[in-house]
């Protein structure tokens, strides 16, 4: 008589022959060991009820509970992660905007240097007519060197800058004149880049065109263009800032939209980021094209009731300087020989002074000894200003053999101004031949 049996492990129902009653063996489905009971009603037999099937109804409840727990956790973790990453993302974006601002200034610097190379001097900050009426700004003057020849040809230099025809051109946005960190930079016709104007500055006075050789502070230490914020100057408008105005903006942290400082274009074409906490007197010196104790504002910084300043007697008198010959050409054969020797000196100051004075000399004919010394300076000197002066001096002192060295500098020098001056020197030497 078959014995009905259900596997206690997997629930498989089966009928087992009674001859296997009381024996053990593996289940045919799950393989786990089972014991076959005796016939129903026999003493000592065990009955294994079939397992109850698991209820499937609570599964969706479990899923909803899991979601209910996971969503708040994800929101909290996501918020924390966003709070941690947001400053880093903002800092990366500001770094990119500051780099683009520096690139704008480099383009403006190259345009100004090319203008100076073509015209012999930087453009005046403002061009006026005979009655002092502003006609054109320096930004309009360098448009051809910024690949904006079309706008430049449409500008009528015989009319004031704010005439209807010229004013219409000012409504054209030019990204090169706009700092991307300015909140309103997109499609704006305003500019963030101005020159410093006034006595002894590179911007000078109206219609004053400053030559590169007039920068006695050194091109690497003299500021050509600065960035400003909040002045709402149209890029076409002939308006800039004075030394005092800019120093006040820096002191109040309003020089730019960048954090802790501003970008400045130097006269050699390089761009630097200057901290707002820089020494005001040192910054003032960089804003001037030549050192001048007479032009320094002795009331800067303003008195704030400091007893130490009051006791020391502020403002302090200017320090008298002894006259020297640093800007004069050689006066004698001995002086000339000393300058040639100084070109090979290990002292940068002596090399700079020697190139400056030889640049101001007007020789009647080339000199091979001077040319060789200037060639070494042009190829080996690390100071940009000294290399520029060496290239300019070779235009007067260089021989036919100097052309090869000048060509190498014109092609390979890292500074655009040096390359430009070397090319000019080559032309001057060829004209003499």
pLDDT tens string 122-181: 999 999 988 888 999 999 999 999 989 989 999 998 999 989 999 998 889 998 999 988
Question: How many CB atoms sit inside 10 A of residue 173's CB?
Answer: 14
Q: Based on the domain organization, do 128 and 272 belong to the same domain?
A: yes
Q: Based on the domain organization, do 240 and 348 belong to the same domain?
A: no
Q: Based on the domain organization, do 174 and 261 belong to the same domain?
A: yes
Confirm whether 64 is domain-assigned: no
Q: Based on the domain organization, do 377 and 426 belong to the same domain?
A: yes
> Can you give the pLDDT at residue 42?
53
Determine the Cα–Cα distance for residues 131 and 36; give it in Å rounded to an integer: 124
Q: Based on the domain organization, do 354 and 263 belong to the same domain?
A: no
> Can you give the pLDDT at residue 197?
94
Q: Based on the domain organization, do 283 and 423 belong to the same domain?
A: no
Distances (CA, A) of 360 to 25, 301, 357: 115, 37, 5
Q: Based on the domain organization, do 247 and 196 belong to the same domain?
A: yes
**β-bridge partners, 6:** 13
The ranges of the chain with pLDDT < 70 are: 1, 38-58, 60-61, 76-79, 81-91, 185-186, 291-327
> Can you give the pLDDT at residue 309?
35
Q: Based on the domain organization, do 287 and 344 belong to the same domain?
A: no
Confirm whether 232 is domain-assigned: yes
147: phi then psi, degrees, rounded to nearest 5: 60, 40
Q: Cβ distance 219 to 420 under 8 Å?
A: no
Confirm whether 316 is domain-assigned: no
Q: Cβ distance 388 to 219 under 8 Å?
A: yes
Confirm whether 327 is domain-assigned: no
Q: Based on the domain organization, do 158 and 203 belong to the same domain?
A: yes
Sequence-separated (6 or more) residues with CB below 8 Å from residue 408: 379
Three-state SS at 168 = helix
> Can you give the pLDDT at residue 360?
79
> Can you give the pLDDT at residue 23?
75
Instruction: Write down the residue that tokens 């006695």 correspond to.
Output: 216
In sequence order, what DSSP letters do the residues of 112-124 get, joined into one string?
HHHHHHHHSSPPP
Query: What is the residue range of 397's domain?
Result: 333-432
What's the total number of domains in the chain? 3
Question: How many CB atoms sit inside 10 A of residue 192's CB?
Answer: 28
Q: Based on the domain organization, do 196 and 244 belong to the same domain?
A: yes
Confirm whether 325 is domain-assigned: no
> Can you give the pLDDT at residue 47?
47
């Amino acid at each position: 008589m078959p014995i009905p049996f259900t596997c206690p492990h997997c629930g498989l129902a089966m009928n087992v022959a009674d001859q296997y009653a009381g024996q053990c063996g593996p289940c045919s489905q799950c393989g786990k060991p089972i014991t076959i009971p005796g016939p129903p009603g026999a003493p000592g037999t065990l009955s294994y009820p079939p397992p109850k099937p698991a209820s499937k109804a609570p599964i969706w409840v479990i899923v909803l509970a899991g979601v209910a727990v996971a969503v708040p956790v994800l929101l909290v973790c996501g918020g924390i992660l966003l709070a941690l990453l947001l400053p880093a993302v903002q800092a990366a974006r500001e770094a990119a905007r500051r780099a683009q601002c520096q690139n704008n200034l480099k383009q403006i610097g190259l345009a100004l240097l090319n203008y100076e190379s073509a015209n012999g001097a930087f453009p005046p900050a403002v061009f006026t007519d005979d009655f002092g009426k502003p006609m054109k700004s320096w930004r309009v003057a360098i448009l051809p060197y910024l690949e904006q020849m079309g706008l430049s040809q449409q500008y009528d230099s015989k009319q004031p800058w704010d005439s209807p025809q010229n004013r219409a051109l000012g409504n054209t946005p030019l990204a090169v004149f706009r700092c991307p960190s300015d909140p309103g930079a997109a499609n704006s016709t305003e500019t963030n880049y101005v020159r410093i104007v006034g006595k002894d500055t590179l911007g000078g006075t109206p219609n004053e065109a400053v030559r590169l050789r007039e920068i006695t502070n050194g091109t690497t230490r003299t500021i050509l263009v600065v960035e400003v914020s909040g002045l709402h100057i149209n890029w076409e408008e002939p308006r800039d800032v004075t030394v005092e105005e800019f120093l006040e903006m820096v002191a109040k942290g309003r020089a730019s939209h960048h954090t802790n400082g501003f970008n400045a274009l130097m006269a050699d074409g390089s761009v630097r980021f200057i901290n707002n906490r820089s020494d005001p007197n040192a910054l003032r010196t960089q804003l001037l094209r030549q050192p001048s104790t007479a032009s320094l504002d002795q009331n800067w910084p303003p008195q704030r009731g400091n007893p130490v300043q009051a006791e020391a007697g502020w403002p302090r008198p200017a320090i008298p300087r002894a006259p020297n010959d640093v800007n004069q050409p050689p006066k004698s054969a001995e002086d000339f020989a000393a300058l040639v020797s100084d070109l090979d000196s290990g002292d940068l100051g002596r090399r700079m002074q020697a190139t400056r004075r030889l640049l101001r000399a007007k020789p009647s004919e080339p000199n091979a000894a001077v040319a060789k010394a200037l060639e070494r300076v042009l190829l080996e000197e690390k100071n940009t200003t000294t290399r520029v002066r060496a290239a300019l001096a070779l235009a007067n002192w260089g021989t036919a053999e100097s052309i090869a060295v000048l060509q190498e500098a014109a092609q390979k020098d890292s500074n655009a101004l040096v390359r430009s001056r070397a090319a000019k020197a080559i032309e001057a030497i060829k004209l003499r031949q």
